Homo-oligomer: A and B are copies of this chain.
Amino acid sequence: MAHTSFEYVRKFEDVGDVCLPSTYIVVRLDGRGFTKFTKAHDLVKPNDKRALDLMNRCGVAVMEEFGEIALGYGQSDEFSFVFRRDAVVFKRRKAKILSLLVSLFSSAYVFHWATFFPQTLLQGPPQFDARIVLYPTDKSMRDYFRWRQADCHINNLFNTAFWALVHQGARTPAEAEAELSGTLSQDKHEIMFSSFGINYNNEPAQFRKGSVLRRVMHPVPIPSAVRAEEEAVAKVSATSDASEKHASASDLGRSPPAKKTRLKRVIRVFHEDIIQDTFWEEVLGKDA
């Protein structure tokens, strides 16, 4: 076959364990047996901020390691990551990506446990299962994350009402389950507000929307040592500039003061709506 610029398409032909080129690689992790794990470690119901923050810390660890991940999204004991369409991580080999990602998340979970649970001894090594799913179009990839956030919202609305009935309404779990069974979203809002004064919309956004991990440009302070060095360098070049332009004596050696911060790509956690198009235009525009 002749060599033409179109021949790159051949790489689509041999995709054994390789993720089809030009598709979004999404990896979703899911805690195994976390209902038991949550009880064993006496985590706060329905949401334990320490546990959610620990999950986010592990998400950040993964995104620091895998530079081609454009976005992470976590809710409950679940975390999803999407690689850029053109990612070449480990030559897109599924087993390699899947295993290293879930391995890092799991070991980070234990490694950072004490930071978030200083008073609670971890009773045993947790387990996360993981799967890789390929999305060939922008729409299907976006709808995947919308699906997960919609899932977070619906489950959290139920859980918040459920535990309000149990904790404040002295119902047994079975009674609370029966009472909520068949109710619509607004019914649950009404139960929480009229019975317990809970305005669901005032609940922490982290619980209602989950956590979005994104790479953003952020001003970070330049260490003084580095600043001093930069100032020295700036002075030297200012002097040579000045002599070229016969600047006045007073200009000699005077250079603009070195900047105190520099923009750096960092991973930040947001609790924002990822169902609207606006989010994706902004993300795919800048960060992805």
Contacts and interface: CB of A to CB of B under 8 A. Distances in A.
Given A16-B17, A21-B11, A147-B6, A111 B103 contact: no
Contacts of A9: 133, 135, 140, 143-144, 147
Contact of A124 (B17, B111, B137, B146): B111
A106 B154 CA distance: 32
Nearest to A8: B143
Nearest to A2: B154
A32 interface: yes
Contact of A103 (B103, B131, B144): B103
A162 to B, nearest CB: 14
Interface string A1-22: 1101011111111111111111
B129 A99 contact: yes
A127 interface: yes
A130 B98 CA distance: 8
A79 to B, nearest CB: 12
Interface of A: 1-2, 4, 6-23, 29, 32, 61, 65, 94-96, 98-100, 102-112, 122, 124-137, 140, 143-144, 146-147, 150-151, 154-155
25 contacts: A2-B151, A2-B155, A6-B146, A6-B150, A7-B147, A9-B135, A9-B144, A12-B144, A15-B19, A20-B23, A20-B136, A23-B23, A95-B130, A99-B99, A99-B128, A100-B128, A102-B103, A103-B105, A103-B127, A103-B128, A103-B130, A104-B106, A104-B125, A107-B127, A108-B125
